[in-house]
């Protein structure tokens, strides 16, 4: 295991494990509320934070955390109040964030797009000891929120209207989801890169749900898959000298394809088992109840 004799690889592998846990853990709620691309938007906004970090000689990780958290709150507010023009406002936020990042990096003394590139696509050799500290603290926050509040987040993202009537603080939980997603983006930025983060939030969840029937199992398998691909991607990147972010994402997509292929026979077996367990079956939905005429409107 000569790979572990390098300090930078120890740091990269630790960061990779934390990314593998946190990205699917928050991603599952984004998929559940049908906003799987939110991570992508936050990644764009985070670029302004990285640029500001260079310009102000501050830590790019902490600056990106602050700016993307702010951006995610703004996205959530646009979702509430934006209505029809919300999409346009979001587009401006995303591209403004990206343009801001490029601009700030280039006006920073001695800065160029080359500095930005390791944040965009991930890089193993640049994970510094202070990055590892920041990533560990932020990952801890993400795990506490996504696992500690899993019942509340499940309820809100499954059915917001019902969640409000159970007395849950729906708005606060939505804001917390957005901020947690933003924090996850900055956790993953060093290893996977800002452009590819969203893939690691969404694809493991999509792959897991090919096999599962429950939310709990989907979460467990997605996290297991996330850790597997981030570790194997990081190791591959080390030996083959390929970019880690791209390797991890391609491995995740390969896992999705394999699990989808495996899922088809599994689904058939389950359907047979279900048919055996409920032999009487339920009336087919398309049967017209005897009390109704064909022309009746059925409760719209």
List residues near other proteins by CB under 8 A: 28, 31-34, 36, 149-152, 154-155, 157-168, 205, 209, 212-216, 218, 274, 277-278, 282-283, 285, 287, 289-293, 295-300
Shortest Å distance, C-beta 271 to other proteins: 9
Give the H/E segment covering residue 255.
Answer: helix 244-277
Q: Considering the complex, what minimum distance in angstroms separates the CB of residue 209 from other proteins? A: 5
The nearest distance, CB 276 to other proteins, in angstroms, is 13
d(CA 106, CA 116) in angstroms, rounded, equals 9
* C-alpha to C-alpha distance for 207 and 181, rounded to whole angstroms: 20
Q: Which is nearer to other proteins, 14 or 175 (by Cβ)?
A: 175
Cβ atoms of 43 and 197 within 8 Å: the answer is yes
Minimal distance, residue 282 CB to other proteins, in Å: 5
Give yes or no for a contact between 64 and 53, defined as CB atoms under 8 angstroms apart.
yes
User: Quick count: other Cβ atoms within 10 Å of Cβ 67?
Assistant: 25
If the CB atoms of residues 264 and 277 are measured against other proteins, the closer one turns out to be 277
Between the CA of residue 116 and those of 98, 129, 289, what are the distances in Å?
11, 19, 64
Cα–Cα distance measured from residue 76 to residue 171, given in angstroms and rounded to the nearest whole number: 9
- Nearer Cβ to other proteins, position 216 or 261? 216
Q: State the DSSP code for 213.
A: S
Distance (Å, whole) CA 197 – CA 259:
21
Give whichever of 95 and 162 is closer to other proteins, judged by the CB atom.
162
In terms of CB distance, is 7 or 159 closer to other proteins?
Answer: 159
First to last CA, the chain: 64
Q: What is the closest distance, in whole angstroms, from the C-beta atom of residue 201 to other proteins in the complex?
A: 13
CA 261 → CA 215, 247, 266, distances in Å?
21, 21, 10
Return the number of the residue (102 or 150) whose C-beta is nearest other proteins. 150
3-state secondary structure of 273: helix
Question: Closer to other proteins at the Cβ: 61 or 221?
Answer: 221
Q: Cβ 172 to other proteins, closest distance in Å? A: 14
Q: How far is the CB of 109 from other proteins (least distance, A)?
A: 46
Contact partners, residue 124, CB within 8 Å, separation at least 6:
8, 9, 12, 191, 234, 237, 238, 244
Tell the smallest beta-carbon distance from residue 214 to other proteins (Å).
Answer: 4
Q: How far is it, in rounded angstroms, from Cα 11 to Cα 254?
A: 26
- Closer Cβ to other proteins, 50 or 173, answer by number: 173
């Amino acid at each position: 295991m000569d790979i572990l004799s390098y300090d930078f690889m120890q740091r990269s592998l630790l960061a990779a494990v934390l990314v593998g846990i946190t990205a699917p853990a928050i991603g599952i709620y984004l998929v559940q509320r049908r906003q799987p691309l939110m991570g992508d938007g936050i990644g764009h906004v985070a670029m302004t934070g990285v640029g500001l970090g260079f310009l102000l000689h501050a830590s790019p990780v902490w600056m990106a955390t602050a700016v993307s958290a702010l951006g995610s709150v703004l996205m959530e507010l646009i979702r509430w109040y934006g209505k029809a023009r919300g999409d346009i406002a979001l587009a401006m936020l995303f591209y403004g964030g990206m343009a801001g990042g490029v601009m700030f990096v280039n006006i920073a003394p001695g800065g160029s797009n080359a500095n930005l590139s390791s944040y965009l696509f991930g890089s193993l050799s640049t994970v510094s000891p202070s990055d590892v500290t920041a990533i560990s603290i932020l990952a801890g926050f993400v795990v506490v929120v996504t696992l500690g509040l899993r019942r509340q987040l499940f309820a809100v993202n499954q059915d917001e209207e019902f969640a409000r009537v159970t007395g849950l603080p729906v708005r606060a939980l939505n804001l917390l989801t957005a901020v947690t997603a933003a924090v996850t983006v900055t956790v993953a930025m060093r290893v996977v890169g800002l452009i590819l983060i969203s893939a690691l939030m969404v694809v493991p969840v999509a792959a897991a749900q090919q096999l599962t029937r429950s939310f709990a199992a989907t979460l467990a398998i997605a996290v297991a898959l996330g850790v597997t691909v981030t570790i194997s991607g990081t190791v591959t990147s080390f030996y083959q000298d390929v970019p880690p972010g791209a390797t991890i994402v391609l491995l995740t997509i390969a896992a999705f394809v394999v699990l989808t292929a495996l899922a088809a026979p599994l689904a058939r077996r389950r359907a047979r088992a279900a048919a055996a367990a409920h032999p009487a079956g339920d009336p087919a939905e398309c049967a017209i109840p005897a009390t109704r005429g064909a022309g009746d409107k059925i409760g719209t």
